Each structure stands twice: as structure tokens, then as C-alpha cells.
Amino acid sequence: MDTPTNPKAPPDRRPAGPKPPPGTRPPLALALTGVVRRYTQGQGALEILRGVDLTISHGQSVALVAPSGSGKSTLLHIAGLLEHSDAGEVFIDGTPTARLPDAERTRIRRMSIGFVYQFHHLLGEFTALENVAMPQMIRGLTRKEAEARAKDLLSYLGLGARLTHRPAELSGGEQQRVAIARALANAPRLLLADEPTGNLDPKTSDHVFGAMTELVRATGVAALIATHNLELASRMDRRVTLREGKVVELA
Ligand SMILES: Nc1ncnc2c1ncn2[C@@H]1O[C@H](COP(=O)(O)OP(=O)(O)OP(=O)(O)O)[C@@H](O)[C@H]1O
């Protein structure tokens, strides 16, 4: 890995918004209250989430460790405003989102949330640097600003010598590190990751997870990370699971 340097935050172009009254605690990065999600299956309905309550403070990292099919991806998609719940509320940075128009949900997602999936979903025709710079340019940064931030993040993740490589010219672990840099490029308030190292061999998984954890701590982003790996989960501030459709705290 390159020598880690604290990645510079990009200029914050979020609207200032009203100031909270003195003495008020800052809003949570994520709060889910009473979240329900059902899927219709033939004639019946399958209730996957049955009243999920979960709060994550700014700067806190939480591992979601639960069996296959228990609803981890469903929960992450709802928390990331990619899917609607059937009941309940999702607060992002204190803003209730369930009843917002889709365009506003998309805006909040772009501004405040970063995603890492099990498969990298990088754009094959673009370089590592371009893949990380692009979301920032969509958000309004100049190419120069976006590429400077992208270079910082990629160098922090040990990819300083791979900036002009396309995804097919990178190893699986390198591709996933680019995906992590891309998710954090817009300095989100919340990082959601769905088995981010699930496709990698144990050694690479350990290395990539370690790099991601370091970056999460360095940037102070709140993180909810689904993983099957208990050892990796032990590096997070908190561990939660899904039991009968509800989130339960683990020791
Ligand atoms: N669109 C859908 N329609 C019907 N059922 C669905 C749909 N999406 C998910 N499910 C069901 O919901 C349950 C939870 O799925 P989900 O993908 O959230 O689980 P998971 O915990 O992420 O699993 P894994 O660890 O295997 O990825 C599964 O039983 C799945 O079959």
C-alpha cells in the first residue's frame, strides 16, 4: 500500500440548511423506524422485514451479520433509498425520506450515500481515475477538482500506480478498492456495503476490508456493512443481525 495520507474532503456544496437550536444533538447519519418489507409470492406474501429499528451515528461503523436470505440486501436497498419500504420511515441525516418524490430521494442518495456491492460495477471503458472522478463531476466539481480527489483516495487505497488502468486490467481486490474509492468520492455521510469482499479470496478479502475500514475511520463516514465474516465484522464499532425480520444488536 502507498503511504496513507488523509484524503482531502472535496468542497461541500450541500445547501447550508437551518441551524439546529443550541444544545440539540446532531442528527443521526441513518435511522430506520418500524421498517416493513413484504414480497408477494404467488397468492401469499413473504414478510422479510417486520419492523426494523436501527440507528447509526455519524462516524460509527456497523456490521450486519446475518444468514443468507434473511434480508440484508433488502435492508441495505431500503436504507440507501434504492427501494421503498411498505411501512416505516428512513431518516438520512435527520431527513425523513419515505414520502419524498423520487427525484428528491435520488438527490439525497447522490449527495449523502455511497454504495459498495459484492461485484464492483465499474464502467469497463473508463480508467480507475475516471471511474472515481465521474460521480464528483456529476455532482458539479470540475474535472481537475474531481481527479485530484480521486487520486488522493486511490493512492490512500494503495492504487497510486494503477490510476490509468481499466477495470479489466486490475485484479479482483484492486477492482473492489476502486469501487470503495468511488463510493467515498462524494464524501457521503453514509456508506452502505453489501458483502464488499464476498467475491475475493480470504487473504485479499482481509486486505481490502482492512483498507476500507481505515478509510471509513479516516473520513469519519457512518457505515453499514453486510458481511458473513465474523472476524471482519469484529473490526466494526457495532455488530447487528436480523432475527425474525428485526434488527438485533450482537455483543
Ligand atoms: N423481488 C423479490 N421478490 C420476491 N422475493 C424476494 C425478492 N427479493 C428478495 N426476495 C426474498 O427475500 C429474502 C431476503 O433476500 P435478501 O437478498 O435481502 O437476503 P440476504 O440476506 O441479502 O441474502 P444473501 O446473504 O444470500 O445475499 C430472500 O428469501 C429472497 O428470496
Query: What DSSP designation does 13 have?
Result: -
E-strand spans in the chain?
A: 30-41, 44-56, 61-64, 87-92, 95-96, 113-116, 190-194, 222-226, 238-243, 246-250
C-alpha closest to that of 200 among 234, 229, 220, 221: 229
Rounded to two decimals, the pTM is 0.87
pLDDT value at residue 40: 87
C-alpha of residue 232 to centroid of ligand 1, in Å: 23
Q: Which atom of ligand 1 is nearest to the CA of 70?
A: 21
Q: Residue 14: which pLDDT band, with cuts at 50, 70 and 90? A: very low
Whether the predicted pLDDT of 183 surpasses 60? yes
pLDDT in tens, 61-80: 999 999 889 999 999 999 99
C-alpha of residue 69 to centroid of ligand 1, in Å: 5
Q: Residue 143: which pLDDT band, with cuts at 50, 70 and 90? A: very high
Record the cell numbers describing residue 73, joined without a space: 440486501
Residue 100 has a CB neighbour count (10 Å cut-off) of: 16
Record the cell numbers describing residue 128, joined without a space: 480507475
Distance set, CA 134 to CA 9, 37, 116, 152 (Å): 16, 33, 16, 15
